[in-house]
Amino acid sequence: MGMSGKILLFAISLFLMTAASQARQSLTIVTNNYPPYITADRNSSFLGDLFHEIGARIGIDFEFQFYPWKRGEQAVAEGKAWGTIPYRKSESREKKFLFSDALYLADSHFFAYSADGTKPPITFNDLTDLRPYRIGGIQGYYYEPWFENAGLDVQYSHSEEQNFQLLQRGRIDLFTTATTMGWYVIENLFPPEEVAKFYTLDKPLVAGEGLFLMTSKNYPQTRILLEKFNRGLHEIKTDGTYTRLVHKHGLIMTY
């Protein structure tokens, strides 16, 4: 092949590479540190890995930005970001946002702490049964209206870590979060002898409810994008990729 032919081939290759690059859409996803589901380090982030695999199948690059939960939700509401993760559905949220198919099914339990290692018999049938206890929470989480309607004594903090520290110091009696995530935080926050003093109430606050991508209703072509995202999610659930990621990040298979 002559020099002119090589130059032409290079030019065509460069054009095709540029066109392919331009064809890939980039979407902003806002979130906050919520291990093991999402962290800034994709190697230890189940949802980071999940979105990477979905993006590879549907030709979209997902850019993650980390903000406090309230600020991230506001960014989606204002159309500054396409979506936020991981969120549970609620009646008020479904009025304002769209939701993907479930990214993961997760139980949430109330956590408690006992300084002497015994497990006091705290039980509840309805949330109103927990009125005698001091409850820890995070503002903006799905359970906030539930606690308010039940008339619970709730102290809100900024993070799971702060709530577990308050629990360990006896400042609150109970704190609820996704069960897998709760144990992850406890085991990374406290020495083993302290970890052994935490426990969960037998009855979950929510059992097997989904964690979702929550997206703006007003983002350009948002419904088309969501359909494409769900298609990619379905593909990785049927080709073994989803199972591999669940096991890689130490989660429990729920599908």
* pLDDT of 229 above 80: yes
* pLDDT of 18 above 60: no
Domain ranges of the chain: 3-102+213-248, 106-207
* pLDDT of 17 above 80: no
Tell me the average pLDDT across 174-194. 92
* pLDDT of 2 above 60: no
* pLDDT of 15 above 70: no
Give the pair of three-digit tokens for residue 144. Answer: 């906030």
Return the CATH class of domain 3-102+213-248.
alpha beta
Tell me the average pLDDT across 180-197. 92
Tens of pLDDT along 33-80?
A: 888 899 988 777 999 999 999 999 999 999 999 999 999 999 999 999
| pTM (two decimals) | 0.72
What are the angstrom distances between the C-alpha of 148 and each of 8, 69, 169, 239? 69, 19, 24, 43
Round the average pLDDT of the chain to a whole number and report it.
88
Q: What is the pLDDT of residue 250?
A: 82
Q: What is the pLDDT of residue 119?
A: 83
Pick the CATH number of 106-207 from 3.40.190.10, 3.90.1150.10, 1.10.10.10, 3.40.50.300: 3.40.190.10
Q: What is the pLDDT of residue 130?
A: 97
128 — pLDDT class (breaks 50, 70, 90) = very high
Show the 3-state SS of the chain: CCHHHHHHHHHHHHHHHHHHHHHCEEEEEEECCECCCECCCHHHCHHHHHHHHHHHHHCEEEEEEECCHHHHHHHHHCCCCCEEEEECCCHHHHHHEEECCCCEEEEEEEEEECCCCCCCCCCCCCHHHHCCCEEEEECCCCCHHHHHHHCCEEEEECCHHHHHHHHHCCCCCEEEEEHHHHHHHHHHHCCHHHHCCEEECCCCCEEEEEEEEEEECCCCCHHHHHHHHHHHHHHHHHCCHHHHHHHHCCCCCCC
